[in-house]
Structures are given as C-alpha cells and as structure tokens.
Amino acid sequence: MDVLGSKQDSGWRNKRGEASLSDVHRSINISRSGSRWRRLAAFAGPGYLVAVGYMDPGNWATSLAGGSKFGYALLAVALLSNLMAIVLQSLCARLAIASGRDLAQACRDAFPKWVSIPLWALAEIAIIATDIAEVIGTAIGLNLIFGIPLELGVLITALDVFIILYLQKMGFRWVEAFIITLLGVIAVCFAIQIFLADPQWGGVIRGFFPTTEIVTNPEMLYLALGILGATVMPHNLYLHSGIVQTRNYGHTLPEKKEALTYATIDSTVALCFALLINASILILAAAAFNSTGRTEVAELGEAHSLLAPLLGLAIAPTLFGIALLCCGLNSTVTATLAGQIVMEGFLKMKLQPWIRRLITRAIAIIPAAFVTIWYGDAGTAELLILTQVVLSLQLSFAVFPLVMFTASKAKMGELVAPIWLSGIAWLIAVVIAGLNVKLLVDFVSG
C-alpha cells in the first residue's frame, strides 16, 4: 500500500482515481540493484516526448521570421524561453511523482466541477489547436519532399494514429525510441544545413546575451513576445505529468525523491536539446536569409524554396523538408497522447486508445482539410497563426494550477516545491500571462 500517497491524498477534495494512461502505467521497471547511471537511463525518454512540443511546426515560422529579420539577436529570447520551460516541466514531474496524479487528474481532484469542467474544455481546445498545427506542418513537409498536395497530405496524417497504436502495443519504450530517432534525424539535418550556411559564430555567441534593443525596438519586441508566448505549450504540462508515471519507481519517500531527481535530469537535458534545434532554425535563417538581405522570410514553403540557391546545394531544401516532416510526425504523436491524458484525467472517461486517438485526429483534420481545400497555402498560414493565439489564451489555465498545486504542502507532502522554486515559478506564470495578454491584444487590434 502507498502509505505516503494516502497521507498526501488528504490535501485533495477528491481521492485519487485510476492511474494516468493505465495501459502503460508503471510498465517500465526501474532496477533497484543497478548502478545510478543505469537507473538514470531507465528514466530517459519522457523528457524527449515533452521536448517535441518545443520544436513543433508552429514554432518554426516564428524562429524563421526572427532570424531572417534580426539575425542572431533573438537567440537570447529562445534561451530565456527554454529556462522557463525547464522550471515548469520539472514541476510537472514533481506533481506526478508526489501525488500520483497527472495535471488533469489534479485539477479534477482539487477543484469543484464548475471550475474543472471549464478547465477541461479549455484543455481540449488547446489540444485541438496543437493538433491542427501539427497536421498542417506534416502536410507541408510531405508537400515539400514528395510534392503531395496539401489537401491529400492532411488526410495522410491520420495514418500516424496507427503508428502510435502499434508502437504502444509493443511497449511504451518503443514510442520513446520512435520519437528519439526522429529527433536524431532532425538534429543531423540542421547540423548539415548550418555547416552549409557557415554562420558568423561570433554573432551567434553574442546573440545569446540580451540587449536593450529587444525592448526598445517595437518589431523586435513583438517577435520576442511571439517566441516567448508560443514556446511553452499547454498540452506538454498535461503530457509530462502523465508519461512520467510509466516508470515503476516505487512508493517510499526515498524512491520518490530519486525518481524526481532522475525525471528532472531527463527533462532538463531533453529541453536543452530542444533549445539546440530551435536555435538552429533561427541561426539558419540568420545565416541564409538575413545576411543576404532577405529579411521578410516567415513562411515554411518560402524558406524551403530559397535554401537551394542561397546555400548552393540542392540537398539543403530536402533536409529542411525532412526535418519539418519529422517534427510534424513527432508532434502529432505527443499531442494525441496528451489528448488521451486530458480526457481520462478530467472526465474519468475511459475510451479504447484507438477510439480516443481517432476522435482527436478527426477533430483536427476536419478544419485543416477544409481550410487547405478552400483557401490553399495562404489559408494554412492564417490557420497556423490562429492556433498559436488559441494556445496563448489557454496556457495560463494550465500553468497557474500547476504552480499552485506544487507549492502546497498539504497536496505534495515532503516533495512540496522549495520556496525559492515556487517563487521563480510564480514569476514565470505571471510573465507568461502578461505576454500572452499582450499577444492577444495585438492580434485583436491587428
């Protein structure tokens, strides 16, 4: 019996229900006798699924626009965004390990229904918005590489549902291996492109140090707000707090403390990798476009078509398309898993995984297909912008409960977040809320 968990349940309105992702819950054993490195390796995986959300197709356009217009100057903003993400994702692991709940279950068990049901609705809207962006990104990748029309590409993305089902049936480690493999392909593609672009490395290093121009230049500030506001994805907070519990880390306080340490290391290392990819997109745009006077490149298709003549090799746009396709595939996998966690956690609604995933994907494909058929390329660009605004609106409704829960001694017990960590987290939550309000006001005012 989990005595520690039962004591902590006293801080919640409702008792803990069925485990998150019950078909894979605690399915990955942690060796008690192995070395520390072996136990750390057993925790490696969830962080990389989370990292996918920080380099999804929705973020590419912002990084391309920032790099092409302002060179390397906004690398400091990408670094700051990543530091925020590291703090918030560490809190997700803390919530899951301390309480045995994912964020959706925690909201259900902590709030009355008149609060938790609207939170569920907002989370579902965010999942749909995320999935629409991933569907469009994958379709654009298929179009760039194979010349498949966007309309057909949108429909083809439905097939990745069956990839998830097949891999999860083999074991959750196979899902993680699939994601990590595609991340490796993305890294290789960008490494080659940056080598071909030959950036000014002195400028790259200086770009990681913030300057006052980011605040004083209105155009630069707007793009900086876009990078900050769209980096932390709401579905990632639900996702991480669910998939951390695939590890069978034990029930005692020492075991949970060790699990928290290893899970935090996993997510931190993975998010540093995500920073590397996001910075690579910005560096590539700065080296290939800004340095040649093309300062208005923001669309994925336009960037793809310009790389060959600028870098001098036909393989450059192909590598760009492959990286985009891999990002899209990875993101659709993680968004669909997050959708399952949200529905089961908030509503206790248990559906067969393939039904839940088909529902999630169908809801995303219908608007994406309609827009691509009716409006074409220009429509997909507008839809991508709209999804980012929707995500901005929803983000704080996930961040504030997370910070509140992990700062509560009654809910977290001995694993409550230290005061200094909670202080930083509250500051991040307020900053994100302010930035997202600014983005929404700008969007509404045109």
Contacts within 8 Å (CB) and 24+ apart, 377-384? 377/150, 377/299, 377/301, 380/136, 380/139, 380/140, 380/150, 381/61, 381/299, 383/132, 383/136, 384/57, 384/58, 384/61, 384/133, 384/136
Query: Which of 349, 382, 341, 383 lies closest to 366, judged by CA?
Result: 383
- Is the pLDDT at 131 greater than 80? The verdict is no
* pLDDT at res. 312: 66
Helix, strand, or coil here: 199? Answer: coil
338-395 per-position pLDDT tens digit: 888 898 899 887 777 677 667 766 776 777 677 767 766 666 666 766 776 777 778 8
Other C-beta atoms lying within 10 Å of the C-beta of residue 238: 31
Calpha distance 208→279 (Å, rounded): 10
Whether 87 and 3 have beta carbons less than 8 Å apart is answered as no
Contact indicator for 116, 109 with CB cutoff of 8 Å = no
Residue with tokens 């991340």: 183
Q: Which phi and psi angles does 12 have, rounded to 5°?
A: -110, 150
More confident residue, 296 or 50: 50
Instruction: Tally Cβ neighbours within 10 Å of residue 397.
Output: 17
- Residue 444 pLDDT exceeds 70: yes
For residue range 185-204, what is the model confidence (pLDDT) as tens digits? 999 988 888 888 889 999 99
Share of the chain above pLDDT 90, in %: 35
Sequence-distant (6+) residues with CB within 8 A of 354 are: 161, 165
Rounded distance between C-alpha atoms, residue 15 and residue 391, angstroms: 30
Question: At residue 29, what are phi and psi to the nearest 5 degrees?
Answer: -75, 145
Q: Is the pLDDT of residue 240 over 90?
A: yes
Residue 248 reports pLDDT greater than 80: yes
Contact call for residues 285 and 68 (beta carbons, < 8 A) = yes
- For the segment 234-253, the average pLDDT, to the nearest whole number, is 92
Which single residue is written with the structure tokens 């990104």? 137
- How far apart (Å, rounded) are the C-alpha atoms in residues 264 and 260? 6
Tokens of 246: 């695939």
Average pLDDT, the chain: 84
Angle between helices 253-288 and 36-43 (to 10 degrees): 60
- The model's confidence at residue 107, banded by pLDDT at 50, 70 and 90, is very high
Query: What whole-number percentage of the chain has pLDDT above 70?
Result: 90
pLDDT at 229 over 70: no
d(CA 234, CA 133): 14
71 neighbors 310 (Cβ within 8 angstroms): no
| Nearest residue to 377 (alpha-carbon basis) of 319, 308, 300, 325 | 300
Task: Look at residue 230 and tell me whether its pLDDT is greater than 70.
Answer: no
What pLDDT score was predicted for residue 1? Answer: 43
What's the CA gap between 132 and 369, in Å, rounded? 10
Using only C-alpha atoms, the chain has a radius of gyration, in whole angstroms, of 21
Cα 39 to Cα 48: distance, rounded to the nearest angstrom: 17
Residue 130: which pLDDT band, with cuts at 50, 70 and 90? confident
Q: Which of 171-185, 254-268, 323-337 has the highest mean pLDDT?
A: 254-268
Q: Which range among 56-60, 153-157, 380-384 shows the weakest confidence by mean pLDDT?
A: 380-384
If one compares 226 and 55, the residue with the highest pLDDT of the two is: 55
Task: Report whether pLDDT(12) > 80.
Answer: yes
| Location of structure tokens 């208005």 | 296
* Cα angle, residue 270 at apex, residues 318 and 424 outer, rounded to 5°: 130
User: What are the tokens at 50?
Assistant: 């989370």
Confidence at residue 83, expressed as pLDDT on a 0 to 100 scale: 93
Report the DSSP beta bridge partners of residue 28.
247
Scanning 376-418, the segments in alpha helix (DSSP H) are 377-406, 409-412
Give CA–CA dist 47/49, Å, rounded.
Answer: 5
Q: Looking at residue 198, what is its pLDDT?
A: 87
For 12, how many CA atoms within 13 A lie in the half-sphere containing its CB?
26
Report angle CA 178, 243, 252 to the nearest 5 degrees.
Answer: 130
Identity of the highest mean pLDDT range in 6-15, 61-70, 155-164 = 61-70
- The CA distance from 119 to 270, in Å, is 28
138 or 117, which is more confident? 117
d(CA 64, CA 74): 11
Q: Could you give the domains of the chain?
A: 3-445 (1.20.1740.10)
First to last CA, the chain: 57
For 141, other C-beta atoms within 10 Å of its C-beta total 26
